[in-house]
Structure 1
Amino acid sequence: MSLPLWCLFIAALLVILSKAPAMRAMARMQGGYDNQHPRAQQASLTGAGARGLAAHQNTIEAFPMFAAGVIVAEVFAAGSTVAGVLAVLFIASRIAYIGLYVANIATVRSLVWAAGYLASLGLMLAPLYGS
């Protein structure tokens, strides 16, 4: 399996793992984690818990574009070193983004988000650089 496809697998895992900060905050709330009404409980999160939820939601939003980019790169530039670097850059930026969001480091977070977004765009441009 190619490096971009492994990164796609990791990105899919990040969709779930990125919810950990919000779930931790929910578990600390009075009554603990409300598995019967988790979305209602999420709506009442504040601080780091709310930021964790926002990071999770943004991870969900970023996944389709990255997946499309990986597919384009695999079809038109299989084995490309550039595609591998861009895929790893996306994963690194997502991990950093989640941490920065929860830690409330907004400016750096936005720059890291932009790097991940540009990596996804770069993967979509794979037909231009080939294999």
Structure 2
Amino acid sequence: MSLPLWCLLITALLPFWLAFWSSSVRRREFGHLDNHHPRQQYAQMTGKGARLWAAQSNAWEALALFTAGIVAMQTSGGGGRLADIACVVFVLARIGHGLCYAMDLATLRSSLFVVSFLAVLSLFMTALL
């Protein structure tokens, strides 16, 4: 499997990692997990739990754009070293983004969002070249 596809796999797993992390925070905050109405319980969370829930939602959104970039790059025959670098930068920025959400580092989180967005644009550029 190519490096971009490994990066896609890691990116696809990030929302699940954030979900498990937010579930552990949810259990600590409420004393139990409401598996009958989990979204209602998540909506009541505050602080770190609420930020992790938001990070998970954002990770799903980022996955869609990254997937489109990978598909565009792969189907156009593009790629190479620039695509590999863009993919690794994207994954590292998205991991950092989730961590910054949890630690309430809003400015750094926003900066990492921009870095990951530029990495995806780079993938689309490799598809055009």
**Bin of the TM-score, shorter chain as denominator length:** over 0.9
Kept after mapping to 1: 8 A contact 2:78/2:126: no
Q: Are positions 1:94 and 2:110 aligned together?
A: no
Alpha-carbon distance in 2 for matches of 1:83, 1:76: 12
Matches within 5 A, 1:42-121: 42-121=42-121
Asked if residue 12 in structure 1 is aligned to residue 12 in structure 2, the reply is: yes
Within 1, Cα distance between the matches of 2:88 and 2:53? 24
More divergent stretch after superposition (21-30 vs 80-89): 21-30
Superposition RMSD on alpha carbons, in Å?
A: 1.3
Q: Using the alignment, how far apart are the partners of 1:113 and 1:32 within structure 2?
A: 32
Cα distance in 1, alignment partners of residues 109 and 44 from structure 2: 23
Q: Work out the number of aligned pairs and report it.
A: 129
Instruction: After superposition, give the CA deviation of every residue in 1:15-41 in whole Å (9 maximum; x if it has no partner).
Output: 211223321111113341111110010
SS at match of 1:28: helix
Change in Cα spacing, 1:113 to 1:66, as seen in structure 2 (3 Å) is same
Report the alpha carbon displacement of residue 76 of structure 1 after superposing the two structures with TM: 2.1
Call closer, same or farther: CA 1:91–1:123 in 2, change over 3 Å: same
TM-score (norm. length: structure 2): 0.93
Amino acid at match of 1:15: P
Identity of aligned residues (%): 39
Counterpart residue number, 1:37: 37
Whichever residue aligns with residue 11 of structure 1, its letter is: T
Note the residue ranges of structure 2 that are not aligned, 5 or more in a row: none
* Post-superposition offset of 1:58: 0.3
Q: Does 1:28 align with 2:12?
A: no
Amino acid at match of 1:36: H
